[in-house]
């Protein structure tokens, strides 16, 4: 088991075009660091100064992590993480 | 139950338990059947309340023209009330909404102005605001910013739910104008300490995002994030698959946005199970599936095919 991470079109250049990749870690920060080890450059697009980048939305099992613990949100095997650019007009 | 007129029959909808979809006897899911309103959707509540408040304020007087940006349900509710009360109504609706909605609006005498698919509801709002400037005598009730939208839910939906289920722990509804969540959310927070208010936001695939407005994002004036406990983003696949599950398991024939609310309800229910807590989770069935039959999502052989039929369409 691992954590499935869905990658938006705009970031698939880092994942050889894959729509979803797998990773591991106890928190989102660790998960993103783990992704970086195989998909170099992706972490910087997601994290800025130890926080989630402002125009990136991250969902843990579809729940907006900004309402959880942000980048410190705990994750575990079998979870599903979705990354989306904060599309203008698509975000209340 | 007896009412003096059709408009008096808005609200007082059933709250039904869903034993097959509830994870356990301690964590229960309840559906508030808003499709049982006179025109078949939750929007009858805010539409009627906004009209009646505008009449009280003197903003709406006999012979007036009502103008409203709507993806369907609010327009249908307003059109029915306008017909009975003798107002003319003009609805601005995105061109990529279902044929059923157009026929329902036309049936109650509404005039429809189509706004471009690009930008979806945001563009409809912009077009309606332009029309309002050109026609200062028209009355735009404006569901996205009218406090009487949330006020309807504060006054009726919230109290009904709490009276029927005093043990409620979570309230879940779709996030559109935000009126339901703001109104019910405020009422429950004031009257049920610790209650969680959960939003289910529609998430469209890349195709629909491509159609959407790349201008500034639109946040309804009613939206107050502090009312929410958390927010789920639900993709078309999950919305469709939950809509079909609700039909197959519990026999409830609901619109696709209801599938999104159910998905979020099951998400918070699963968290309660994991945490070993009991929960009574209420979600809103915003409308029935009738208006979406032409999409084919209910009769497709598999959920995968159903998802394919909805590809590229707005469903909430």
Convert the pLDDT of each residue in B103-156 to its tens digit.
999 999 999 999 998 877 888 999 999 999 999 999 999 999 999 999 999 999
Between CA B203 and CA A6 the distance in angstroms is 14
Contacts of B287 (CB under 8 A, 6+ apart): B34, B35, B40, B41, B42, B73, B254, B255, B257, B258
Does B18 reside within a domain? yes
Least confident piece of the model among A14-18, A36-40, A42-46, A55-59:
A55-59
**Edge-to-edge strand list for the sheet holding A63-64:** A20-23, A3-6, A80-85, A56-60, A63-64, B230-235, B196-203, B170-174, B279-285, B27-33, B15-17
Higher pLDDT, A54 or B268: B268
Domain boundary among B85, B105, B140: B140
Mean pLDDT of A41-47: 95
Contacts of B1 (CB under 8 A, 6+ apart): B12
Q: Are B30 and B18 in contact (CB under 8 A)?
A: yes
Residues B172 and B227 in one domain: yes
Residue B297's domain spans which residues?
7-36+155-308
Mean pLDDT of B187-207: 89
Q: Are B201 and B231 in contact (CB under 8 A)?
A: yes
CATH class given for the domain over A3-85: alpha beta
Residues B205 and B257 in one domain: yes
Between CA B248 and CA A69 the distance in angstroms is 36
Q: Rounded to whole angstroms, what are the CA distances from B246 to B129, B130, B234, B262, B284?
A: 38, 40, 16, 8, 13
Least confident piece of the model among A62-71, B1-10, B212-221:
B212-221
ipTM of the complex, rounded to two decimals: 0.88
Detail the DSSP E strand segments found in chain B. 15-17, 27-33, 65-69, 88-94, 111-115, 139-140, 170-174, 196-203, 230-235, 279-285
Residues B233 and B129 in one domain: no
Q: Which pLDDT does position A87 carry in this prediction?
A: 59
> Is B257 a catalytic site residue?
yes
pLDDT over threshold 70, residue A63: yes
CATH of the domain at B191: 3.40.50.1100
pLDDT over threshold 70, residue B66: yes
Does B68 reside within a domain? yes
Q: Which pLDDT does position B121 carry in this prediction?
A: 80
Q: Which pLDDT does position B170 carry in this prediction?
A: 98
Domain boundary among B116, B140, B164: B140
Residues B32 and B112 in one domain: no
Q: Which pLDDT does position B39 carry in this prediction?
A: 95
Residues B247 and B114 in one domain: no
Residues B215 and B236 in one domain: yes
Q: Which pLDDT does position B217 carry in this prediction?
A: 61
Q: Which pLDDT does position B211 carry in this prediction?
A: 42
Residues B117 and B49 in one domain: yes
What's B15's DSSP letter?
A: E
Is B145 marked within a binding site?
Answer: no
Q: Which pLDDT does position B228 carry in this prediction?
A: 97
Tell me if B230 and A63 make a contact (CB, 8 A cut-off). Answer: yes
Tokens 């800025």 sit at which residue? A48
Between CA B49 and CA B86 the distance in angstroms is 16
Residue among B122, B231, B233 whose CB faces A89 most closely = B122
Does B146 reside within a domain? no
Among B67, B47, B74, which Cα is nearest to B129's?
Answer: B67
Q: Which pLDDT does position B87 carry in this prediction?
A: 96
Residues B303 and B162 in one domain: yes
Residues B278 and B198 in one domain: yes
Burial B200-231 (b: 16+ CB within 10 A, else e): bbbbbeeebbebbbeeeebebebbeeebbbbb
Does B2 reside within a domain? no
pLDDT confidence of B98, banded at 50, 70, 90?
confident
pLDDT over threshold 70, residue B240: yes
Domain boundary among B140, B164, B186: B140
Residues paired with residue B111 on neighbouring β-strands, in sequence order: B90
Tell me if B233 and A84 make a contact (CB, 8 A cut-off). Answer: yes
Does B315 reside within a domain? no
Between CA B251 and CA B203 the distance in angstroms is 25
Q: Which pLDDT does position B46 carry in this prediction?
A: 97
pLDDT over threshold 50, residue B227: yes
Residues B131 and B255 in one domain: no
Higher pLDDT, B295 or B198: B198
pLDDT over threshold 60, residue B204: yes
Between CA B229 and CA B186 the distance in angstroms is 12
pLDDT confidence of B70, banded at 50, 70, 90?
confident
Tell me if chain B has a CB within 8 Å of the CB of A76: no
Higher pLDDT, B37 or B218: B37
Does B86 reside within a domain? yes
Q: Are B127 and B115 in contact (CB under 8 A)?
A: yes
pLDDT confidence of B215, banded at 50, 70, 90?
very low
Tell me if chain B has a CB within 8 Å of the CB of A67: yes
Q: Are A58 and A81 in contact (CB under 8 A)?
A: yes
pLDDT confidence of B213, banded at 50, 70, 90?
very low
> Can you list the alpha helix ranges (DSSP code H) found in chain A?
28-38, 42-46
Q: Are B298 and B253 in contact (CB under 8 A)?
A: yes
B198 vs chain A: nearest CA distance in angstroms?
10
Collect all residues of chain A within an 8 Å Cβ-Cβ radius of residue B173: none
> How many CB atoms sit inside 10 A of residue B282's CB?
26
Q: Which pLDDT does position B120 carry in this prediction?
A: 78
Does B150 reside within a domain? no
Per the structure, the count of domains in chain B is 2
Q: Which pLDDT does position B205 carry in this prediction?
A: 61
Does B314 reside within a domain? no
Q: Which pLDDT does position B210 carry in this prediction?
A: 42
Between CA A43 and CA A50 the distance in angstroms is 10
Mean pLDDT of B234-240: 93
Residues B162 and B289 in one domain: yes
Between CA A82 and CA B259 the distance in angstroms is 19
Least confident piece of the model among B106-110, B157-161, B250-254, B276-280:
B106-110
Residues B28 and B52 in one domain: no
């Amino acid at each position: 088991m691992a954590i499935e991470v869905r990658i938006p079109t705009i970031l698939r250049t880092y994942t050889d075009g894959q729509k979803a990749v797998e990773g591991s870690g106890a928190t989102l920060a660790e998960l993103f660091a783990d992704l970086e080890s195989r998909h170099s450059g992706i972490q910087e697009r997601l994290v800025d100064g130890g926080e989630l980048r402002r125009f990136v939305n991250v969902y843990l099992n579809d729940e907006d992590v900004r309402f959880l613990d942000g980048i410190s949100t705990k994750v575990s095997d079998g979870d599903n993480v979705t990354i989306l650019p904060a599309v203008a007009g698509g975000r209340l | 139950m007896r009412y003096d007129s059709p408009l008096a029959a808005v609200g007082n909808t059933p709250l039904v338990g869903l034993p097959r979809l509830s994870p356990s006897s301690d964590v229960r899911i309840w559906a508030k059947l808003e499709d049982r309103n006179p025109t078949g959707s939750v929007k009858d509540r805010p539409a009627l309340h906004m009209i009646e408040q505008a009449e009280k304020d003197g903003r709406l007087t006999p012979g007036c023209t009502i103008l409203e940006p709507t993806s369907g349900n609010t327009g249908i509710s307003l059109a029915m009330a306008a017909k009975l009360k003798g107002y003319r109504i003009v609805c601005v609706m995105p061109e990529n909404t279902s044929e059923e909605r157009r026929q329902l609006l036309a049936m109650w005498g509404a005039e429809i102005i189509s706004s471009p698919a690009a930008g979806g509801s945001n563009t409809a709002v912009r077009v309606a605001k332009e029309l309002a400037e050109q026609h200062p005598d028209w009355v735009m009730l404006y569901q996205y910013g009218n406090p009487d939208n949330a006020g309807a839910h504060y006054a009726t939906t919230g109290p009904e739910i709490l009276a029927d289920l005093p043990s409620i722990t979570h309230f879940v509804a779709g996030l559109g104008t935000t009126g339901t969540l703001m109104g019910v959310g405020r009422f429950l927070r004031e009257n049920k300490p610790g209650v969680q208010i959960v939003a289910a936001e529609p998430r469209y695939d890349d195709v629909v995002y491509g159609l959407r407005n790349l201008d500034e994002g639109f946040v309804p004036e009613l939206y107050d994030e502090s009312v929410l406990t958390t927010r789920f983003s639900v993709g078309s696949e999950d919305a469709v698959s939950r809509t079909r599950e609700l039909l197959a398991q519990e026999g409830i024939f609901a619109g696709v946005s209801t599938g999104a609310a159910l998905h979020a309800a099951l998400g918070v229910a699963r968290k309660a199970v994991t945490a070993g807590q009991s929960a009574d989770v209420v979600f809103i069935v915003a409308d029935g599936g009738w208006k979406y039959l032409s999409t084919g999502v209910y009769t497709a052989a598999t959920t995968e095919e159903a998802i394919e039929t909805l590809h590229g369409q707005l469903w909430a």
